[in-house]
């Protein structure tokens, strides 16, 4: 049985960086891509990497793996309704956080500073590096590792920021490829509009925002960091507005945030505690879970309707159209992200904890540079031995650290004490 066709996609979309023999087991190339990510060691490691709070903090809050699975569920369904290949979107969603280092965005900032002279560090660029080089799955005929060797369409869908450092279309520190990965980046972007993510990447990006905003608030409520009735207080809304402005929407005003919180709070499924209800009891948790489901449906439905209103019926794939998110929906999503940031990530009591995480990664990098290649894992030891100069060797050590989980980074730091 030959490999099935891919409706809505061109032959070039199914090409792989390193050619592979034709498969005869009846799955699509895109279904194979999804399976390769799902079975990767990089995806498994996300179970021990920080989402909002560190893994192992309790039995409820999400980690990077559960977040990625939830993003994939949201993205797959939205993409399918629009006409994208569901496996392409699913692959991109599962892969979108693979490049995150220990300690989440805090670790990302730490490694970015340490790698500033060699092209920096960026989680999205590290994802591309994992998919096309570091994750052990396929080796080309000339002996070079090519990672999972995904199709062009799936790699492009996983590329949220399709530009290299210094080539962004707007002021941002985000980018999708390091300078020494530009060869494969150029290949996967062949004939793509400059700086424009494909629609599958846009679906992945929106699904990430939706899952992030809704589930992080759910986690914050269950962990006791915030109670939803607090959001009716004017002083709380001002705090949320300031964080939303600082972190997500620079031009948003206090009144706009207050209006968005008022709209959300007026929804019949908004899970503020009711009189006599036990906080954290089954009725409260059930209401909270219903709220998350309803909010996801609200946001995804709004984007689906707006995208379809802007574009004719029919499958939307690759560069046929863009995802349209109504301004009100984008504001509500950003405000919910601002709520989680206000009551979890930006609290003063967590700042010394974040500083210690950055210090730990800096010390670990210095110790590994002194003791490499002996203390590197075998794949990275090979990369270190093959590196042409000090910059390339530093990149290998950064790759090694980025591969670690929160727990293993702490263990390595303890084991490599001077």
Provide the token pair at 361: 């990664």
| Residue 282: band (very low, low, confident or very high) from pLDDT cuts 50, 70, 90 | confident
pLDDT, average across residues 358-384: 95
For residues 288 and 311, what is the distance between their CA atoms, to the nearest angstrom? 35
Asked whether the predicted pLDDT for residue 279 surpasses 80, the reply is: no
The pLDDT score that the predictor gives to residue 59 is 46
- Min mean pLDDT across 61-75, 86-100, 355-369 is at 61-75
| Residue of higher predicted confidence among 141 and 278 | 141
pLDDT, average across residues 251-255: 88
The pLDDT score that the predictor gives to residue 86 is 96
With respect to residue 284, please indicate whether it lies within any of the assigned structural domains: no
**What region does 351 belong to: left with phi over 0, alpha with psi -120 to 50, or beta?**
alpha
Percentage of the chain exceeding pLDDT 90: 70
Asked whether the predicted pLDDT for residue 246 surpasses 60, the reply is: yes
CATH at 34: 1.10.3210.10
The pLDDT score that the predictor gives to residue 331 is 95
Q: Tell me the whole-structure pTM to 2 decimals.
A: 0.92
Asked whether the predicted pLDDT for residue 1 surpasses 70, the reply is: no
With respect to residue 165, please indicate whether it lies within any of the assigned structural domains: yes
Asked whether the predicted pLDDT for residue 51 surpasses 80, the reply is: no
For residues 225 and 124, what is the distance between their CA atoms, to the nearest angstrom? 29
The pLDDT score that the predictor gives to residue 61 is 60
pLDDT, average across residues 180-185: 96
Specify whether the CB–CB gap between 125 and 98 falls below 8 A. no
For residues 319 and 196, what is the distance between their CA atoms, to the nearest angstrom? 8
With respect to residue 39, please indicate whether it lies within any of the assigned structural domains: yes
Asked whether the predicted pLDDT for residue 350 surpasses 80, the reply is: no
> Quick one: how far is CA 180 from the chain centroid?
22
H-type helices in 248-281, by residue range? Answer: 254-265
Over residues 142-177, the pLDDT tens digits come to: 989 999 999 999 999 999 999 999 898 988 889 999
For residues 184 and 157, what is the distance between their CA atoms, to the nearest angstrom? 14
Residue with tokens 């590994």: 368
The pLDDT score that the predictor gives to residue 60 is 47
The pLDDT score that the predictor gives to residue 173 is 83
With respect to residue 153, please indicate whether it lies within any of the assigned structural domains: yes
- Min mean pLDDT across 81-90, 270-279, 364-373 is at 270-279
Under DSSP, the state recorded for 201 is H
Number of domains in the chain: 1
| Residue of higher predicted confidence among 56 and 27 | 27
The pLDDT score that the predictor gives to residue 170 is 86
Asked whether the predicted pLDDT for residue 96 surpasses 60, the reply is: yes
Over residues 309-334, the pLDDT tens digits come to: 998 777 899 999 999 999 999 999 99
For residues 289 and 378, what is the distance between their CA atoms, to the nearest angstrom? 44
pLDDT, average across residues 91-98: 96
What's the whole-number average pLDDT of the chain? 90
Residues 6+ apart with CB under 8 A from 11: none
pLDDT, average across residues 56-78: 81
With respect to residue 348, please indicate whether it lies within any of the assigned structural domains: no
Judged on CB neighbours under 10 Å (0-12, 13-18, 19+), 312 is exposed
Q: What is the dihedral of CA 35, 87, 50, 171, to 10 degrees?
A: 130
Residue 39: domain span: 11-188
Which H or E run includes 159? none
Provide the token pair at 318: 């690759």
With respect to residue 24, please indicate whether it lies within any of the assigned structural domains: yes
Angle at 403 between CA 398 and CA 406, to 5 degrees: 105
Asked whether the predicted pLDDT for residue 27 surpasses 50, the reply is: yes
pLDDT, average across residues 227-240: 90
Residue-by-residue DSSP string for 94-118: HHTTTT--TTHHHHHHHHHHHTGGG
| Residue 371: band (very low, low, confident or very high) from pLDDT cuts 50, 70, 90 | very high
**What region does 56 belong to: left with phi over 0, alpha with psi -120 to 50, or beta?**
left
The pLDDT score that the predictor gives to residue 68 is 94
| Residue 272: band (very low, low, confident or very high) from pLDDT cuts 50, 70, 90 | confident
Asked whether the predicted pLDDT for residue 21 surpasses 60, the reply is: yes
With respect to residue 344, please indicate whether it lies within any of the assigned structural domains: no
Q: What is the dihedral of CA 341, 364, 122, 178, to 10 degrees?
A: 180
| Residue 178: band (very low, low, confident or very high) from pLDDT cuts 50, 70, 90 | very high
Specify whether the CB–CB gap between 28 and 3 falls below 8 A. yes
The answer to whether the peptide bond before residue 373 is cis (omega within 30 degrees of 0) is yes
Provide the token pair at 12: 């070039």
**What region does 372 belong to: left with phi over 0, alpha with psi -120 to 50, or beta?**
beta
The pLDDT score that the predictor gives to residue 385 is 96
- Range 188-195, long-range pairs (CB < 8 A, 24+ positions): 188/17, 188/152, 188/155, 188/156, 188/159, 189/156, 189/159, 189/162, 190/12, 190/152, 191/12, 192/156, 192/162, 192/319, 193/319, 195/162, 195/163, 195/168, 195/169
With respect to residue 156, please indicate whether it lies within any of the assigned structural domains: yes
Residues 6+ apart with CB under 8 A from 63: 46, 47, 48, 49, 50, 51, 55
Query: CA nearest 47: which of 64, 35, 59?
Result: 64
Q: How far is CA 135 from CA 219, 257, 336, 344, 347, in A?
A: 31, 42, 34, 32, 36
Provide the token pair at 69: 């699975």
Over residues 385-417, the pLDDT tens digits come to: 999 999 999 999 999 999 999 999 999 999 998
Specify whether the CB–CB gap between 124 and 130 falls below 8 A. no
The pLDDT score that the predictor gives to residue 276 is 64
């Amino acid at each position: 049985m030959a490999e099935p066709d891919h409706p809505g996609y061109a032959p070039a979309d199914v090409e792989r960086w390193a050619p592979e023999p034709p498969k005869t087991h009846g799955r699509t190339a895109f279904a194979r891509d999804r399976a390769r990510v799902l079975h990767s060691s990089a995806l498994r490691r996300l179970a021990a990497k920080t989402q909002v709070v560190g893994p192992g903090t309790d039995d409820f809050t999400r980690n990077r793996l559960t977040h990625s699975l939830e993003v994939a569920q949201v993205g797959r369904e939205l993409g399918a309704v629009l006409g994208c290949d569901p496996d392409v979107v699913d692959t991109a969603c599962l892969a979108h956080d693979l490049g995150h280092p220990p300690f989440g965005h805090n670790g990302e900032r730490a490694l970015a500073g340490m790698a500033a002279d060699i092209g920096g560090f960026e989680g999205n660029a590290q994802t591309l590096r994992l998919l096309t080089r570091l994750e052990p799955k396929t080796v080309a005929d000339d002996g070079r590792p090519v990672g999972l060797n995904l199709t062009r369409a799936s790699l492009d869908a996983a590329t949220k920021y399709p530009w290299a450092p210094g080539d962004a279309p707007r002021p941002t520190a985000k980018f999708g490829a390091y300078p020494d990965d530009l060869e494969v980046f150029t290949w996967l972007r062949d004939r793509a509009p400059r700086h424009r993510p494909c629609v599958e990447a846009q679906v992945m990006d929106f699904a990430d925002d939706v899952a992030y905003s809704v589930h992080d608030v759910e986690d914050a409520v269950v962990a006791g960091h915030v109670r939803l009735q607090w959001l009716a207080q004017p002083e709380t809304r001002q705090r949320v507005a300031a964080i939303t402005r600082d972190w997500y929407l620079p031009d948003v005003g206090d009144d706009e945030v207050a209006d968005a919180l008022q709209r959300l709070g007026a929804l019949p499924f908004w899970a503020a505690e009711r009189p006599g209800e036990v906080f954290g009891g089954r009725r409260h948790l059930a209401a909270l879970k219903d709220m998350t489901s309803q909010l996801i449906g609200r946001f995804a439905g709004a984007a689906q309707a707006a995208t379809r209103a802007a574009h004719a019926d029919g499958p939307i794939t690759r560069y046929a159209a863009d995802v349209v998110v109504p301004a009100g929906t984008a504001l509500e999503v950003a405000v919910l992200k601002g709520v989680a940031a206000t009551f979890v990530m930006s609290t003063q009591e967590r700042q010394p904890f974040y500083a210690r995480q950055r210090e730990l990664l800096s010390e670990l990098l210095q110790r590994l540079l002194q003791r490499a290649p002996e203390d590197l894992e075998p794949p990275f030891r090979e990369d270190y031995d093959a590196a042409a100069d000090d910059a390339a060797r530093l990149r290998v050590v950064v790759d090694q650290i980025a591969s670690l989980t929160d727990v293993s980074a702490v263990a390595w730091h303890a084991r490599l004490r001077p």
